[in-house]
Amino acid sequence: VFSLNAFAQKPCEFSVNVKDSIGTYKETKSAIVHEFVFGNTSKHIFFALTSTDDMPSLSVLIIQKSKDFLKVNCFDKNSRIYLQLENNKVITLIASEQENCGTPVSDDLGFNNRILSGNFFFMKGTIDDLKTSPVSSMRIKFSTESQDYIIKNLLLSEMDQKTYFPNSYFIDFLPCVID
């Protein structure tokens, strides 16, 4: 039995791409990798890949919105992101040292909003697997609990009406920040 998996890199689009006397910094445009919308509650998880002087990292943004009380989750130095790949390997990303419990944001429509961001570093030897195997699920370890997410092949976002391909995110965009 012979099978061929062909993956085409998406065009690289950057929100930041700076090279100066201090060094280089690149950040890809954000992409939605998980979306949950039910009634008056929604949760969106965005990824952006960054590279600081050729050191890649993953920038994570979680936006929650609800008419109800929003539970606070925090990132701290012990936070992790675990990515289960389709090749059955588990990749661990390690949080930066910064503790962050997000920012509450009010709006005129009576929604409670919370924006949480964090930066996660790739462990040595894990990037090659991420470049070749799609992601099937993700576990985010916050400071007090873990949450699991199924990563879809295709996601038509209710937020911006765009189509995303979350499971091939790293295959598509790691080449943008890694030479």
Question: Contact at 8 Å (CB) between 29 and 50?
Answer: no
pLDDT for res 4: 41
The string of pLDDT tens digits covering residues 155-164 is: 999 999 999 9
User: What is the number of residues in the chain?
Assistant: 179
Q: Among the listed ranges 80-84, 102-106, 140-144, which one has the minimum average pLDDT value?
A: 102-106
pLDDT for res 110: 85
Question: Across 24-28, 68-72, 96-100, which has the greatest mean pLDDT?
Answer: 24-28
d(CA 38, CA 66): 10
Q: Which residues pair with 98 in a beta bridge?
A: none
The pair of structure tokens assigned to 49 is: 């890949």
pLDDT for res 9: 52
pLDDT for res 107: 85
Closest residue by Cα to residue 89 from 133, 148, 149: 133
